[in-house]
Amino acid sequence: MAQRLPRLRLDLEFMPSPAPDRPGLLIRDPYRYSDASLIVPPALMGCLQLFDGGHTELDLRSELVRLTGDLKVGELQQHLVDTLSQAGFLEDETSRRMKAAQIGAFAEAARREPSHAGAAYPEEAEELRATLAGWMDPGAPAAAGNSPIGIAAPHVSPDGGRESYRAAYAALGPQYQERVFVILGTSHYGEPERFGLTRKPFATPLGVAQTEVALAERLAQEAGPAAKMEDYCHAVEHSIEFQVVFLQHLYGAGIRILPILCGAFARGILEGGRPEQDDNLRRFFDALGALAAREGQRLFWVLGVDMAHMGRRYGDSFEARAGEGQMSMVAELDRQRIERLAAGDAEGFWSAVQKNRDPLKWCGAAPFYTFLKAVPQARGELLHYQQWNIDEESVVTFGAMAFRQNLEATQ
């Protein structure tokens, strides 16, 4: 009986090859269990569908014979299977070993190393300082009104989102120097309905930001099963890392942070109902709200969030252009959600996200909602809104917000 082919990992990234001289499909591992990347040539791309856990080696052999017109495909077949396995891209012992090694290394590491230095921003400290000084125009106007208790900034590439980063961080004055920055970031790789915590300090080219270990441990203890301590996703996630870099630029390397990754509230979107109908999520919201009330002005809240994801890259049938065509309608729908955020209306915001299972694909929905539940007295102001073509056919939307205490609620 023919042996089944192992399944191709479902958590890989697939995209067209960026190399003009090497067309095909680029495969890479966003979790970085493996540092390999492969380009599968067009002629073999269809073979990947056979690595679904249901097809056999005989099925692959038959497909290769059909493609090549040659019965002698044994060497090609073995090369394809071996290449995918050695790269860690199949659900087999090799990938399981790679995953265990990387998770173990992160658990044992003394600190969380920068994962996007040298790619999303410069890896040399002086160059990074100069770049940040250029992004953070000192003439940028600060938000009006009483002092914010939190901000929302993008987590898109800092170069692409510089105007929104500038608007968000211009709202912060020197009085926040000694605060603990609670950073709620989108968890792009974490489990849904889970929150990733860590005790590890965050290193960047600017130095090492200190995590408030006591707060992280108390939150993990009080929050229950929804909280995952030393979540490996911190090792590869950018939504918090980018905020740490900007905060260090403003206040120095040794800032104090409480980093929290927020997994998607998938059940609420797919099945209906509010997130807190999940007992574990409700317990986490309660624990974070208790921390907010207990620590008060010792904390400052930073949300690392993007908004809509539209176009071919994100599964839509149309080519998205920033500010044009359907993206004009997206801007209006974004603003309707932003209005609910500004009003502190958690239920209204979630109803808008939930409608039609979130066709806008807001990856920042969970951090926003978590913040509204933990700090219900917060009221927001939109400082900047932006759409950016992440590629020629796809757009990400994001912006900057400042949140302040609703003084009426405290009287």
What are the pLDDT digits (tens) for 314-356? 999 999 999 999 999 999 999 999 999 999 999 999 999 999 9
Same domain, 205 and 98: no
Question: CA 354 to CA 349: how far, in whole Å?
Answer: 9
* Confidence band, pLDDT 50/70/90 cuts, at residue 138: low
- Does the residue 8 lie in any domain? no
- The confidence score (pLDDT) of residue 2 equals 82
Q: Is it the case that residue 281 has pLDDT exceeding 60?
A: yes
Query: Tokens representing 351?
Result: 């109803």
Provide the domain count of the chain: 2
Average confidence (pLDDT) over 172-184: 96
Residue 22 lies in domain: 13-105
Burial class (CB in 10 A: 0-12, 13-18, 19+), 146: exposed
Average confidence (pLDDT) over 367-379: 98
Same domain, 237 and 263: yes
Boundary residue ending a domain (105, 124, 143): 105
Residue 263 and residue 190 in contact, taking contact as beta carbons nearer than 8 Å: yes
Q: Is it the case that residue 142 has pLDDT exceeding 70?
A: no
- Does the residue 373 lie in any domain? yes
- Does the residue 334 lie in any domain? yes
Residue type, 242: F
- The confidence score (pLDDT) of residue 272 equals 87
- The confidence score (pLDDT) of residue 405 equals 93
What is the average pLDDT score of the chain? 95
Residue indicated by tokens 């390999």 = 36
- Does the residue 142 lie in any domain? yes
* Confidence band, pLDDT 50/70/90 cuts, at residue 406: confident
- The confidence score (pLDDT) of residue 404 equals 97
Length of the chain, in residues: 411
- Does the residue 70 lie in any domain? yes
Same domain, 22 and 139: no
Average confidence (pLDDT) over 370-380: 98
* Confidence band, pLDDT 50/70/90 cuts, at residue 407: low
Average confidence (pLDDT) over 209-213: 98
* Confidence band, pLDDT 50/70/90 cuts, at residue 411: very low
Same domain, 181 and 76: no
What pTM does this model have? Answer: 0.94
- The confidence score (pLDDT) of residue 270 equals 86
- The confidence score (pLDDT) of residue 298 equals 97
Question: CA 236 to CA 35: how far, in whole Å?
Answer: 12
Concatenated DSSP letters of 323-344:
TSTHHHHHHHHHHHHHHHHHTT
Same domain, 81 and 230: no
Same domain, 234 and 340: yes
Percent of the chain whose pLDDT exceeds 90: 93
Same domain, 98 and 135: no
Residue indicated by tokens 């170069």 = 159
- Does the residue 97 lie in any domain? yes
Same domain, 145 and 76: no
Same domain, 101 and 210: no
CA angle 69, 47, 100 (to 5 degrees): 140
Choose the weakest-confidence range: 30-34, 53-57, 144-148, 299-303.
144-148
* Confidence band, pLDDT 50/70/90 cuts, at residue 146: low
- Does the residue 2 lie in any domain? no
CB atoms within 10 A of CB 231: 24
Same domain, 185 and 100: no
Boundary residue ending a domain (54, 70, 105): 105
- The confidence score (pLDDT) of residue 257 equals 98
Same domain, 79 and 158: no
Boundary residue ending a domain (86, 105, 124): 105
Residue indicated by tokens 């919201």 = 285
What is the CATH classification number for the domain harbouring 184? Answer: 3.40.830.10
- Does the residue 186 lie in any domain? yes
Same domain, 265 and 391: yes
DSSP letter for 177, please.
T
What are the pLDDT digits (tens) for 247-265? 999 999 999 999 999 999 9
